[in-house]
């Protein structure tokens, strides 16, 4: 039996950057706090915790020592977090993904122009909480075309943005429908110039580009192990895609969840994961499976 790790799986650039920030700070300090899990992967969070990274919330600002360093993860934070950090004498280590930062900046420009801001995304996702904060929580957050048609005031100048990790197909459907119904619609981009409907959206290319390669990988293996944190929004989406392509796709968060009966009769096993799945986790699972069948 051959066990392969998907070479296109693993951390997105923003996730790698946030972890690099954390590791660099922990080289000179025994303690660093993170606003929320630095990445939606339990194994990686536990690894960094052993180095001195502790997960907290904004509500904990008053409980940690003044002058503490707090990491803002790739998802970003609303403006209120920065204000509270100043009030509590906390030093922020800002690892917000530059793509997310650009989206926040673009949204702010449309808020200043009195546009109705619509965000395709999950209302309580960390990234969207930050985007909502830029609009003083006045943005309309939608997950479907029906929600868009119910909530959006079609008579107002409107700008449509997307959470960076959403699926492009649904976004395109929503954008097309709103273009036909909204009197003045702009599709939000991370670019500074004025844009029209055909301009590039704010869905991360590294995320949207994964689908085609993931389908090919899932289809080319008899069994697929998809590993990601249970909190990973991106993981849920990508797992569903792999499962759709290959019914013998199984979701596991840790190596302990592997059921070796899944591999009966399999000649090839593929291991893949989310943009928040560390490479070392996938390699570890590969070794566990190989070692089991060497016995």
With 0-12 CB in 10 A as exposed, 13-18 as middle and 19+ as buried, what is 26? middle
Residue 46's pLDDT band, with cuts at 50, 70 and 90, is very high
Mean pLDDT for 65-80 is 96
pLDDT value at residue 200: 67
Residue 241 sits in the same domain as residue 218: yes
CATH (domain of 250): 3.40.1010.20
Domain count, the chain: 3
Residue 103 sits in the same domain as residue 85: no
Distance CA 138, CA 58 (A): 21
CATH (domain of 41): 3.40.50.11270
Residue where one domain finishes, among candidates 55, 81, 97: 97
pLDDT above 60 for 195: no
What are the angstrom distances between the C-alpha of 162 and each of 140, 171, 263? 11, 7, 39
pLDDT above 90 for 26: yes
Residue 175 sits in the same domain as residue 236: no
Enter the DSSP assignment of 104. H
Residue 193 sits in the same domain as residue 221: no
pLDDT digits (tens, 9 = 90+) for 238-279: 999 999 999 999 999 999 999 999 999 999 999 999 988 999
pLDDT value at residue 87: 97
Full DSSP string of 89-100: TPEEEE---HHH
Residue where one domain finishes, among candidates 76, 97, 118: 97
Residue-range definition of the domain harbouring residue 260: 2-9+208-294
Backbone angles phi, psi at 8, to 5 degrees: -95, 0
pLDDT value at residue 232: 84
Query: Is 127 considered catalytic here?
Result: yes
pLDDT value at residue 289: 97
| 25, 44, 127, 245: the active-site residue | 127
Residue 114 sits in the same domain as residue 183: yes
pLDDT value at residue 198: 42
- Using DSSP, state whether 31 is helix, strand or coil: coil
Distance CA 99, CA 164 (A): 8
Residue where one domain finishes, among candidates 58, 77, 97: 97
What are the angstrom distances between the C-alpha of 87 and each of 62, 66, 94, 206? 10, 10, 17, 37
Residue 109 sits in the same domain as residue 177: yes
Residue 191 sits in the same domain as residue 157: yes
More confident residue, 71 or 165: 71
Distance CA 269, CA 225 (A): 7
CB atoms < 10 A from the CB of 97, how many? 21
Residue 93 sits in the same domain as residue 67: yes
Full DSSP string of 117-136: EEEES-TTSHHHHHHHHHTT
Residue 192 sits in the same domain as residue 251: no
Residue 123 sits in the same domain as residue 149: yes
pLDDT above 60 for 193: no
Question: What integer best gives the mean pLDDT of the chain?
Answer: 92
Residue 118 sits in the same domain as residue 150: yes
CB atoms < 10 A from the CB of 241, how many? 18
Q: Are 112 and 159 in contact (CB under 8 A)?
A: no
pLDDT value at residue 192: 56
pLDDT digits (tens, 9 = 90+) for 221-238: 999 999 999 888 788 889
pLDDT digits (tens, 9 = 90+) for 116-171: 999 999 999 999 999 999 999 999 999 999 999 999 999 999 999 999 888 888 99
Residue 146 sits in the same domain as residue 76: no
């Amino acid at each position: 039996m051959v066990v392969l790790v998907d070479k296109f799986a693993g951390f997105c650039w923003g996730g790698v950057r946030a972890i690099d920030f954390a590791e660099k700070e922990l080289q000179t300090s025994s303690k660093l706090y993170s606003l929320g899990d630095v990445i939606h992967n339990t194994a990686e969070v536990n690894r960094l915790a052993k180095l001195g990274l502790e997960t907290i919330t904004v509500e904990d600002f008053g409980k940690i020592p003044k002058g503490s360093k707090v990491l803002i993860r790739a998802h970003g934070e609303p403006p209120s977090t920065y204000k509270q950090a100043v009030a509590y004498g906390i030093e922020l280590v800002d690892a917000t993904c530059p793509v997310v930062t650009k989206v926040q900046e673009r949204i702010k420009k449309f808020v200043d122009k009195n546009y109705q801001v619509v965000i395709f995304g999950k209302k309580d996702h960390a990234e969207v909480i930050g985007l909502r904060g830029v609009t003083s929580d006045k943005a309309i957050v939608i997950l479907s075309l029906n929600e868009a048609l119910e909530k959006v005031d079609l008579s107002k100048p409107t700008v449509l943005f997307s959470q960076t990790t959403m699926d492009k197909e649904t976004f395109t459907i929503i954008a097309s429908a709103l273009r036909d119904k909204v009197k003045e619609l702009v599709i939000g981009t991370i670019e500074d110039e004025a844009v029209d409907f055909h301009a590039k959206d704010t869905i991360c290319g590294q995320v949207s580009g994964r689908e085609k390669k993931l389908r090919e990988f899932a289809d080319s293996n008899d069994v697929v192990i998809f590993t990601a944190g249970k909190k990973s929004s991106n993981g849920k989406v990508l797992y569903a895609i792999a499962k759709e392509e290959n019914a013998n796709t199984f979701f596991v968060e840790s190596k302990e969840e592997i059921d070796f009966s899944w591999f009966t009769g399999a000649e090839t096993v593929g291991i893949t994961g989310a943009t928040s799945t560390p490479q070392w986790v996938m390699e570890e699972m590969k070794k566990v499976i190989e070692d089991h069948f060497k016995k």
